[in-house]
Structure 1
Amino acid sequence: MDLWFTELYENASGYTIKIKETLFSGKSRYQKLDILQTEQLGKMMVLDGLIMLTEANEFSYHEMIAHVPMTAHPNPERVLIIGGGDGGTAREVLKHDCVKECVMVEIDELVIEKSKEFFPQIASAFDSPKLNLLVQDGFKYIEDNKNAFDVVIIDSTDPIGPAEPLFSEHFYKNVNACLKSDGLMSAQSESPYLYNKIIRQMYTDMGKAFPVVKMYTGYVPFYPTGMWSFAFASKKYYPYSKPRIDMIDKIDNLQYFNKEIYSTCFALPNFVRKILDENDK
């Protein structure tokens, strides 16, 4: 019997993948977690019916959310990751030798446990002495830590359920306060083809908290439409102020990110510019 998993999108479309078997299905106090073995894409993580990653293509998301802000900052020694329970973003952050400490705050311990079990190559950073892994509410952690980090990465799910508080003006102002005087942040910000309203509100709120706000894009085949956007917000640096471009060639095992990607990822199609109504802040 053929087994298929389908994620339905909001515009009467979806994404269907043939699967071999269900490896794990369970529910934490926050969300439902499924680990599926697919025919062609390796193992796949699904949260509340939404695809989070596939083994075959996870690098495209994790490299873009991590290496763009890490390249933009001239000396990112302390890095905070909110979410990212699979460990992929931490893995990429810790490829930068300049990092002295990476604090990762994930609210759902089940995601961490099952990532270690089923995705050890993604969760490899959990064994790093530079990683301080905390199982708690990232919103509260941000509130309690001021002027502490060079880079903050918001590796959250969509703005529903446990991630909903991470998409608000109040939260972005707390992120600003959590950063050092020249700190910057990145966050996933949905597909411009499908989620115009969410994107417009997110960037409006972020613009009330940071003097520099930009969007960059990448191609993530397991997310809706394949075109995915990321927010870049900074207290001081623009993407091209003091980027560590020459460092990129020294990063181990990059499958997506490179110098040319960094130089072009902030160029936006006209329809995306219209969504943002950019004013070159």
Structure 2
Amino acid sequence: MPSVRVADAFPSLVFEENKNSIHHIALVFKAIQSFQLPPSVKGFDGLNFDDNGDIITGPTPIHGGRPCDTVAGLYTEYFHTQISCADKCDIVKGWRATSLRDRLDKFGAEKLPQLLREVESQLTPRPTLVHADFDLHNLLFDPSTNQLTALLDFDFGHVASHADEYFYPFDSLMHIVVPPTVEEPDMVSLWHALLYGFPQELPVPKEGDKSVGWKLAAAVNKAFANAGVNQPSEIPGIDELSALYWCIQDVSPPLFF
């Protein structure tokens, strides 16, 4: 079956063809989001096989944490893994040159557990399969039919909350949830639209500004709604969990390595 990456063809497709592709992408994402994990998978983290060949929970391929019973435990593992990575980094050397390391340690011991408890009380997280690279580069389609043919690269797949997929490379579909602290006003507007609903009249980007494709973002939002996808606007606490996720990532950014 002849296939090309959606990312390679997307810019050249007319919008009606784009909508057809987006519809199929939404159906695939809904299938992942709704996937029933086997009873042998308990809690949150990566996936592994036991001696009998059954799929079980194992270390995450991204953060290296151990299996956890709760999302709070999973994010605590993320934090300690990032601290460990910072300790090994010749650039920041564990952030020990200033008081920052003491503040990070205090945050991890005192404030982080409190914030995670508050988020869990809002989120009511359920173990969900997260692809973690649901990007147009990993989707293939047949240009003769505009039908999706494959979703690639499950290397980063793991079990997290139903909010977590939106923290990974969803930016090609304009659905990544980042804290509203970015300097680009359009990105702040997109964050607001994802969490509280898209405006009837979409913002008109300034000439040359390609930070937000509003037409694409709105089309994806509509397709997700039609497919029954659990969207950011329907997930209480996703904004707070997003802020914690990106804060933890900044403890040891991947570009340091």
| Normalised TM-score (structure 1) | 0.22
Normalized per residue, the structure richer in helix is 2
Normalized per residue, the structure richer in strand is 1
- Larger relative contact order (Cα-Cα within 8 Å, sequence gap ≥ 6): 2
Instruction: From the CA coordinates, give the structure whose radius of gyration is larger.
Output: 2
